[in-house]
Chain A
Amino acid sequence: MRALIHAIALKEIRQLRRDRLTFGMIVGIPLMQMLLFGYAINFDVRNLRAGVFDEANTTASRALIADLQASGVVRIEVHSRSSAELSQRMKAGQIAFGVHIPPDFERRRLDADRPVAQIIVDGSQPGIENIARGLTAMPLPGRNGDYSPDHRVFEIRTEYNLEKRTATQIVPALIGVILSMTMMMFTAVAIVREREHGNLELLITTPVSVFELMLGKLLPYVFIGLTQTTLVLILGSALFQVPIRGGLVSLYLAALIFIGATLSLGLLISTIARNQTQAFQMSLFLLLPSILLSGFVFPFDGMPRAVQWIAQVLPLTHFVNLVRGIVLRGASLSDLQEPLYKLLVLSCVVLLAVTLRFHKRLD
């Protein structure tokens, strides 16, 4: 019996070593997971992009801002000239954190019952609200006599998610996760299957052009993707009362671009993978960092710079920004130009890579 178990185990090891992708995954998966979970997921957020509207503009108000900055939690990127500008920046997703110091700041400082400043938090993103709470609980350093010990310095206002429900933050972004998962895997596996079965070899000897072949294959998935988007929105609204504040046209346009990007990624995988298992593994290999690094559950601002750069190459990162902006913050596509252009550029790059790799030949 032992000899037989030995024979089978030996055969298994031989096969594993021949399948380079699986062999790579034995090392690759622990490595990737370690890096992702160890470095990328960090609730101890630093350098949160913040904006300030300082109406008082006194020595003490500037000192207060300097203290916030010194805490390392926020990085003040925007000095606004009006409340409206601050709101607009937040709506556009450029800042997640706003500080408003009112004109009567100096008088409030002397009144222990009134908060001296307001912190505005983007409630459409997970984790930001908690960070703000942590920040305000922290004693401000080195300003003896400026504030009495029990003086509540800040008042927190959570925008776009007054009830502070997690479902509100998750559901719109979930559209992106679901689309990534289904679009990428469906196309990659569907095309690899056709190649495995020899269907593709037959098709490329017919008058069908590469363009017609790709477009014809992808078109049904575009409709599936749009159906899934609609389904998530309806369910989110019915089950979790997730509001849709922005325009549907903007939303579906963003979804369409994202579907294009994920379908292209699926196509790209199909040009690399040699069989369905590999296509599946590769999709998963892309999906995991997409979910973890896109800001879908973990605050994007908490990740180290290097990881944020990696996240820039994942279409989901930009789509999460877009969809939260549109659905929760009521932004339009013109408010969200940065993630929109990034997503478009990514789609084009992937599509270019696909057309370079996808030939109407076998070699």
Chain B
Amino acid sequence: MTAGNELAATAISAQGLTRRFGKQVAVDQINLQIRPAQIYGFLGPNGSGKSTTIRMLCGLLRPSSGTVTVLGHSVPREAEQLRHKVGYMTQRFSLWEDLTVLENLQFMAQVFGLARSARAVRIDELLQRYRLNEMCQQRAGTLSGGQKQRLALAAATLHQPQLLLLDEPTSAVDPQSRRDFWESLFDLVGTGTTILVSTHYMDEAERCHGIAILDRGRLVAEGSPRSLMDAIGAQVIEVEAVDTRAVRRILQGQPFVRSVTQLGTRLHALLDPELADARGRVQALLANEHVDALVEGVRASLEDVFVAATGFGRN
């Protein structure tokens, strides 16, 4: 394979990426291969190392060990060469709240070195695309969560980056804005942009082409959401019952039950994959305890994958 092909084949690659803060290991031996023109998601709870990994990928933090190549550049050594090719959206809104929408975009356009003639056209285009026209004279601090997020995305894509790094971009917006935001991301992928997004929402992770599940700094599962759901190392049964607390108590006492998650009046239980006739065993168990319940074997959801990958709740 030639170097050019390799460049096209991976947007981001990392080997043994590790970051320690003092004695604490925030990111532990992570390997990544992210293909271009995809949305790749980091799924994990708070403190799982998502932000630290993203910061290392864009050169904001130096890895304690391991190698990173982003768009063919070794990071952090060649991080400066990446600045024009990468857009970064921080977890918190980090544009200037005391500048107007337009002033923020104008400033960022200048910082990214857009030619004077191109600037106005590009800003207009983005104001239109992200429906910011009406509030372009408004100070950014007065915008709603969803508007701020659209402004941040507009600013991060001003210079038409090949790679977009988004650190929990939807943690502070309403569901409708989240849906709109993801539409925008798919539009960007359609034009060839690679997007790396971190999230702790299952529905968002499910929309990604590929995801990596992070847990306490380690990469515990990787692949497309579908392949992960298919390859889950557990049987999933769904129990519908009135007295869910009793079901939970009974199931949690069994050695073959790995974890139980409640979803309204239903419970998802992850069971030992080796267990024969799981549905029958559970049904008999509940009947024995005089608990009225409907038991069904179901396909794993991404949440089940997540629970299985992060050690079945560890309790």
Contact = CB atoms under 8 A, between A and B. Distances in A.
Contact of A361 (B59, B83, B86): B59
Contacts of B62: 361, 363
Interface string A178-217: 0000000000000000000111011111111100000000
A205 B58 contact: yes
Looking at chain A's contact residues, the main secondary structure is loop
B210 interface: no
Interface string B71-102: 00000100010011010101111111100000
A122 to B, nearest CB: 48
A204 B62 CA distance: 14
Contact of A199 (B59, B84, B91, B95): B95
B61 A362 contact: yes
Interface of A: 197-199, 201-209, 361-363
Contacts of A363: 61-62
26 contacts: A197-B94, A197-B97, A198-B90, A198-B91, A198-B92, A198-B93, A198-B94, A199-B94, A199-B95, A201-B90, A202-B88, A202-B90, A203-B111, A205-B58, A205-B59, A205-B60, A205-B86, A207-B80, A207-B83, A207-B111, A208-B111, A361-B62, A361-B76, A362-B55, A362-B60, A363-B62
B136 interface: no
Given A361-B62, A362-B60, A363-B61, A201 B111 contact: no
Nearest to A216: B111
Interface string B36-73: 00000000000000000001001111100000000000
A39 to B, nearest CB: 40
Nearest to A198: B94
A207 B113 contact: yes
- Nearest 8 pairs between A and B by C-beta? A198-B94, A207-B83, A205-B88, A202-B94, A206-B111, A198-B92, A362-B60, A198-B90
B94 A201 contact: yes
A198 B97 CA distance: 11
Contacts of B55: 362
Contacts of A207: 80, 83-84, 111-113
A205 B108 CA distance: 11
Interface of B: 55, 58-62, 76, 80, 83-84, 86, 88, 90-97, 108, 111-113
Nearest to B113: A207
A239 B112 CA distance: 49
A197 B93 CA distance: 8
Nearest to B19: A363
Among B62, B95, B111, find the residue whose CB has the most chain A CB atoms closer than 10 A. B111
Given A198-B92, A198-B94, A199-B95, A206 B58 contact: no
B31 to A, nearest CB: 22
A340 B204 CA distance: 62
A87 to B, nearest CB: 54
A320 to B, nearest CB: 36
A220 to B, nearest CB: 14
Contacts of A362: 55, 60-61
A206 B62 CA distance: 17
Contacts of A204: 60
A209 B112 CA distance: 11
Contacts of B94: 197-199, 201-202
A202 to B, nearest CB: 4
B262 to A, nearest CB: 35
B108 A201 contact: no
A360 B195 CA distance: 23
Contacts of A361: 59-62, 76
Given A197-B97, A206-B83, 14 more contacts: A198-B90, A198-B91, A198-B93, A201-B60, A202-B95, A203-B111, A205-B58, A205-B88, A207-B80, A207-B83, A207-B112, A361-B60, A361-B61, A361-B76
Contacts of B113: 207
Nearest to A203: B111
A363 B60 CA distance: 8
A348 B136 CA distance: 43
Nearest to A213: B111
A198 B94 CA distance: 5
A206 B76 contact: no
A209 to B, nearest CB: 8
A193 to B, nearest CB: 10
A308 B111 CA distance: 46
A205 B95 contact: no
Contacts of B76: 361
A238 B84 CA distance: 54
B259 to A, nearest CB: 36
Nearest to A201: B90
A197 B152 CA distance: 14
Contacts of A206: 83, 108, 111-112
A202 B76 CA distance: 16
A202 B91 CA distance: 10
A36 B94 CA distance: 42
A252 to B, nearest CB: 30
A197 B96 CA distance: 8
B107 to A, nearest CB: 10
A199 B55 CA distance: 15
A363 B62 CA distance: 7
A362 B94 CA distance: 15
B17 to A, nearest CB: 15
A363 B80 CA distance: 16
A155 B80 CA distance: 70
A199 B86 contact: no
A72 B129 CA distance: 81
A199 B88 CA distance: 12
A6 to B, nearest CB: 33
Contacts of B93: 198
A354 to B, nearest CB: 20
A125 B76 CA distance: 55
B25 to A, nearest CB: 15
